[in-house]
Structure 1
Amino acid sequence: MKKYLIVGLGNIGNEYMHTRHNIGFDVVDAFVLKHGGFFMQDRLAYKAEVKWKGHLFICIKPTTFMNLSGKAFKYWLDKTEVPLAQTLTIVDDLALPIEVLRLRPAGSPAGHNGLKDIELTIGTNEYPKLRFGIGNNYPKGMQAQFVLSKWLPAEQKIVEQKIQKCIEIIEQFASIGIEKTMNVANSYKFIP
């Protein structure tokens, strides 16, 4: 059975639930729920395992807080012995409009503290990432407040659509590979 490590980035704590910065948590929660799994607290993360069509998905939500995501990522990468190319990190992205998802086999952290810490910890940025566009509709100097804010009611529908599409992307990543999945995933445009 082929193994995959699915990493949703976010912050633990009720005050961060369902904020833009926690979309990685929300996506893995939805994926695990769809496949009848459940999370349990484990070392440095909440962890769930789900099986689907001959694939085993080890899903984690780090409990280290965003800026130390690398610690949990490295621990579970080593423990599960999943090849780096069979990991998928789901993360919010300010540089992408809310209508967009972006899947890449590698790439820079682009200013994201969680991705910066992972790169620093594992020594490479050559690992797959699914970036969830959150837009950048905030006044100058208010970036931190924006990423830690909840979605606006007008954004809820598109966020739900994108979460459902992310579930499909995770499944396709395992079943048809990243290249074919990218061709489809990166062409989606969600209408608010």
Structure 2
Amino acid sequence: MLLIAGLGNPGQAYAKNRHNIGFMAVDEIARRWGFDAPRARFRSLASEGRIDTPDGPVRALILKPQTFYNDSGSAIAEALKFFKLKPADLVVFYDEIDLAPGRFRMKTGGGAAGNNGIRSTAAHVGPDFRRARLGTGHPGHKDAVHGHVLSDFHKAEMKWVEPLLQACADAAPLLAAGEDEKYQAEVMRLAPAEKADPRKLARGE
């Protein structure tokens, strides 16, 4: 079984925030692969389903913690423990300000790089989980980071956000098969990121 968690903040006020692109990505995977309607479990919204791979369908649980971003790990750990899964069975989708807008990278383990949701997850389950990093760009100064991640995507940014989310869902069989390098390559093939100034994108230019 694969546990696919998205990081974000619960509630409509946060739904279109850059910080919620992890929620957006797992929602698109659930939609694309016909997962069950979400229900409250593990202090999260959880959806069950299967992702088809060349070796057969892989059972998966999509999790959207409702504990708020910075305490995501406590909810994720509950689900991991319940299903007796290892960190290697966990993929976390989240926003990465140190990647240019529209870029996508997979990695396993490592530090939190200042991301409190990842720090919380590592504190509860250990660092050796799989990470799907969705680039949202840096605002240019550390004092602007908080406002940047908690602001909505501009309309102009959706020209790369929507294809990236769709690519994450369409390429999901590679993720389910554990082929993270191939998954990363396929996502970027399906949704190639344009070279752009993240500060201009953040202003909707």
Q: Do the two structures share a fold, i.e. TM-score over 0.5?
A: yes
Once the two structures are superposed, residues 74-97 of structure 1 have per-residue CA deviations (whole angstroms, 9 ceiling, x without a partner) of 100111222321211000011010
Q: Which residue of 1 aligns with 2:200?
A: none
Distance across 2 between alignment mates of 1:20 and 1:50: 26
1:132–1:5 distance in 2 versus 1, CA, 3 Å = same
Which of 104, 114, 121 is the aligned partner of 1:111? 114
**TM-score w.r.t. structure 1 length?**
0.90
Once the two structures are aligned, what percentage of the paired residues are identical? 28
In 2, Cα distance between equivalents of 1:113 and 1:89: 13
Task: Determine the C-alpha separation between the residues in 2 that align with 1:129 and 1:176.
Answer: 12
- Give the letter aligned to residue 103 of structure 1: M
1:78-93 aligned at under 5 Å gives the runs 78-93=81-96
- Equivalent pair of 2:51/2:172 in contact (CA under 8 Å): no
Match of residue 17 from structure 1? 15
The equivalent residue for 2:203 is none
List per-residue Cα deviations over 1:109-161 (Å, max 9, x = no partner): 11000000111122x21110000000113555221111011111111110001
Q: Go from structure 1 to structure 2 and tell me whether the alpha carbon gap of 1:52 and 1:186 turns closer, same or farther (over 3 Å shift).
A: closer
Structure 1 counterpart of 2:180? 178
Q: Provide TM-score, normalisation by structure 2.
A: 0.85
Q: Would you say the 8 A contact 2:164–2:187 is kept in 1?
A: no
Deviations 1:141-187 (A, max 9, x none): 22111101111111111000110111134321113522433454567
Q: More deviation in 174-183 or 22-31?
A: 174-183
Gaps of 5+ in 2: 197-205
Tell me, in whole angstroms, the C-alpha distance in 2 between the residues paired with 1:55 and 1:44: 24
Using the alignment, how far apart are the partners of 1:144 and 1:169 within structure 2?
31
Amino acid at match of 1:66: Y
Whole-Å separation in 1 of the counterparts to 2:137 and 2:26: 21
* Partner secondary structure for residue 170 of structure 2: helix
| 1:22-49 deviations in Å (ceiling 9; x for gaps) | 0111111111111222211223100000
Contact 1:87 1:128 in 2 (8 A): yes
Per the alignment, residue 160 of structure 1 pairs with 162
Give the distance between the partners of 2:171 and 2:107, measured in 1 at CA. Answer: 12
Q: Distance in 1 between matches of 2:13 and 2:63?
A: 20
Q: Which runs of 5+ in 1 are unaligned?
A: none
- Equivalent of 1:30, from 28, 36, 46? 28
Alignment size in residue pairs? 189
Classify 1:150/1:172 alpha carbon distance in 2 versus 1 (closer, same or farther; 3 Å). same
Letter in 2 for 1:40: R
Task: Determine helix, strand or coil for the equivalent of 2:120.
Answer: helix
RMSD of aligned residue pairs (Cα, Å)? 1.9
- Rounded to whole Å, the distance in 2 between the matches of 1:140 and 1:110 is 13
Change (3 A) 1:139 1:178: closer
Aligned residues of 1:19 and 1:148 also touching (Cα < 8 A): yes
Residue 105 of structure 1 contacts residue 178 of structure 1 at CA under 8 Å; is this kept in 2? Answer: no
